[in-house]
A and B are shown apart, each in its own frame.
Chain A
Amino acid sequence: MSRLSVAKTYKIYIGGKFPRTESGRYFPLHDGQGHVIANICRGSRKDFRNAVVAARKAQPGWAGASAYLRGQIIYRIAEMLEGRREQFIAELKQQGLTASAAEKEVDAAIDRLIYYAGWADKYQQVFSAVNPVSSSHFNFSVLEPTGVVGVLAPDDTSLLGLVSNVAPCIVGGNTCVVLASESKPLCAVSFAEVLHSSDVPAGVVNILTGYREELTGQFASHMDVNAIVYCDGSKKVATAIQTAAADNIKRVVSRVNTDWAKDKAQDPYLIKQTQEVKTTWHPIGS
């Protein structure tokens, strides 16, 4: 007897939970032949607001975790992703990739996590400095996480682009709210399940799906978001993001036109882009 297949409900990820969108809205996702693959949550501004609250709550604890522990946890994400390789390859194929391209993308995503896991306890000493000053002060600069980061993940990749932007953000002690690719959202939701089983504390990564046009303005204007990372969009969109971000002087990071499959798309400077430099003037004897 043939059995009924169990279709997966793709939900969003907020504060370590998988709710449906509070708005109750969905949009169908189609494959190349026009068949519906899944119904995707069309996240609302209230979902985004809730996600920011969760991210804010999680931020001090995550920033306070030791660099070593953060590295271990990100390494753990890679392990979990490795274990679910086949699922991600299947999802990428559903979203139009060839088998070999899908395999390549999943492998690259796993390797990218390992790369940033390794940087967790190293970027600080690379970017920090003892500064020569002409007064009797011991002067040094260290990095501190910017805080809550809004990440508009690139639209053209389902998994790799998202991982490539989330990993450098959280490795430095930030928490984030991510808007997944609108045209290829499947892997983002499954990646949330990977995060959920990887000892990543609730609220450190929150993942929404929905319409780019509807939510970009919310990401840019929210006063409790400290930085925004975007990877797509026209000059007009960029201007709108930067204008709205100016209200609370958000750090704005543009990663437009990046080929995330390339090795040079991974870089410790991506960690630094969502860090603040704190310089201390410590008086010493004359």
Chain B
Amino acid sequence: MGSANVTTLPTAGRLPDLSRVPAVDEVGVNERVARFQSRSIKAKAKIDGLKLTLAMIDLTTLEGQDTPGKVRQLCQKAIHLHDSMPGLPHVAAVCVYPTMVSVAKESLKGHDINIASVATAFPSGMSSLDIKLNDTRIAVEAGANEIDMVISRGAFLAGDYQHVFDEIVAVKEACGDAHLKVILETGELGTLDRVRRASELAMHAGADFIKTSTGKIQPAATMQVTLTMLQAIRDYYYETGRMVGMKPAGGISSAKLALHYLVMLQETLGNAWMTPEWFRFGASSLANDVLMQLKKQETGVYQSPDYFSKD
């Protein structure tokens, strides 16, 4: 795969012709996904995969009931995943609401963990552009270096692609140096064809990452939509030479499922994307399940959540 440093956008600022986006073969996607789930990953490969999963996690808390205490606890978990097991990586980022960014920044001082913040009237995105841009700027100024924005699904479904495109471009500008992840909320898009179209739209508008879901809508991330988005990323890369990252979020809570996603990533985009720089899991309970699996590999004994700190 090519260089990771291509930042110029050959087609920036121009909405692609979405009618030319290839249709998604749903039956084919299902069959392909079933194949990924049949791969056998054991021993060393499993341990490496589990550790990579940990390093790719965006440890997330996005509740109305979040308090500074809860966010500090989450940050502690991000730094100290399980101290009795030496050699573990730390998670890629913590993901919080804009008002909690400063708390997270304080808690993570001196650690190489990114701070992601949702913005743009998350989770519905039902607000004016001004408010969305302000929301973004507030999060960036408070110290977020990754912004997870939501697209306006209503406008997208109504066919107003230009509106959605312009919003992403504007938010990208408001982000400054912060990385922009664009949440498509695939659970509200309905079909894989729309997922594919929204992916292309977001990437052409300048998304650094595309992300499946807010976690507030069911279904959240599925392997089918993730595969569709990975294929869009691959085709976009062939077309423009720019790498775009992928973040499935919501509903990935078991280590086994995470390994299936890694298999899918490897077989669709290849090794260049197999790093936290280009792939993330948006999750809260996944980390402990992965830790329990790693401990099981180490001791040979099935583990209990009782012996792992809560996140």
Interface residues of A (CB under 8 A from B): 45, 49, 52, 218, 221-224, 247-248
**Smallest CB-CB separation from A220: which chain B residue?**
B301
**Smallest CB-CB separation from A53: which chain B residue?**
B302
Q: Which of A221, A224, A247 has the most CB of B within 10 A?
A: A224
List the B side residues contacting A218 at CB < 8 Å.
Answer: 302
Q: For chain A, what secondary structure do more than half of its interface residues adopt (helix, strand, loop), or is it mixed?
A: helix
List the B side residues contacting A222 at CB < 8 Å.
Answer: 301-302, 304
Give Cα A145 to B151, complex, Å.
49
User: 8 Å CB contacts to A: which residues of B285-311?
Assistant: 300-307
List the B side residues contacting A224 at CB < 8 Å.
Answer: 302-306
Give Cα A221 to B300, complex, Å.
9
Question: What are 25 sample pairs from A and B whose C-beta atoms fall under 8 A apart?
Answer: A45-B302, A49-B302, A52-B302, A218-B302, A221-B300, A221-B301, A221-B302, A222-B301, A222-B302, A222-B304, A223-B301, A223-B302, A223-B303, A223-B304, A223-B306, A223-B307, A224-B302, A224-B303, A224-B304, A224-B305, A224-B306, A247-B301, A248-B304, A248-B306, A248-B307
List the B side residues contacting A223 at CB < 8 Å.
Answer: 301-304, 306-307
Give Cα A248 to B301, complex, Å.
11
List the A side residues contacting B301 at CB < 8 Å.
Answer: 221-223, 247
List the B side residues contacting A45 at CB < 8 Å.
Answer: 302
Give Cα A223 to B303, complex, Å.
5
- Other than the given A223-B302, A224-B305, A224-B306, 8 more pairs (CB < 8 A) read A221-B300, A221-B301, A222-B301, A223-B304, A224-B302, A224-B304, A247-B301, A248-B306
List the A side residues contacting B302 at CB < 8 Å.
Answer: 45, 49, 52, 218, 221-224
List the B side residues contacting A49 at CB < 8 Å.
Answer: 302
5 shortest A-B CB distances, which residue pairs?
A: A224-B304, A223-B304, A222-B302, A221-B301, A223-B303
User: 8 Å CB contacts to A: which residues of B251-308?
Assistant: 300-307
**Smallest CB-CB separation from B302: which chain A residue?**
A222
List the A side residues contacting B304 at CB < 8 Å.
Answer: 222-224, 248
List the B side residues contacting A221 at CB < 8 Å.
Answer: 300-302
Nearest-neighbour CB distance to chain A for B307, whole angstroms, equals: 7
Nearest-neighbour CB distance to chain B for A46, whole angstroms, equals: 10
Q: 1/0 per residue B17-42: CB within 8 Å of A?
A: 00000000000000000000000000
Give Cα A74 to B304, complex, Å.
29
Give Cα A281 to B300, complex, Å.
40
List the B side residues contacting A52 at CB < 8 Å.
Answer: 302
**Smallest CB-CB separation from B304: which chain A residue?**
A224
Give Cα A52 to B306, complex, Å.
14
Nearest-neighbour CB distance to chain B for A215, whole angstroms, equals: 12
Nearest-neighbour CB distance to chain A for B128, whole angstroms, equals: 44
**Smallest CB-CB separation from A222: which chain B residue?**
B302
Q: Which of B300, B304, B307 has the most CB of A within 10 A?
A: B304
Give Cα A224 to B306, complex, Å.
8
Give Cα A268 to B80, complex, Å.
46
**Smallest CB-CB separation from B295: which chain A residue?**
A223
Nearest-neighbour CB distance to chain A for B135, whole angstroms, equals: 38
Nearest-neighbour CB distance to chain B for A22, whole angstroms, equals: 13
Nearest-neighbour CB distance to chain B for A207, whole angstroms, equals: 19
**Smallest CB-CB separation from B305: which chain A residue?**
A224
List the A side residues contacting B305 at CB < 8 Å.
Answer: 224
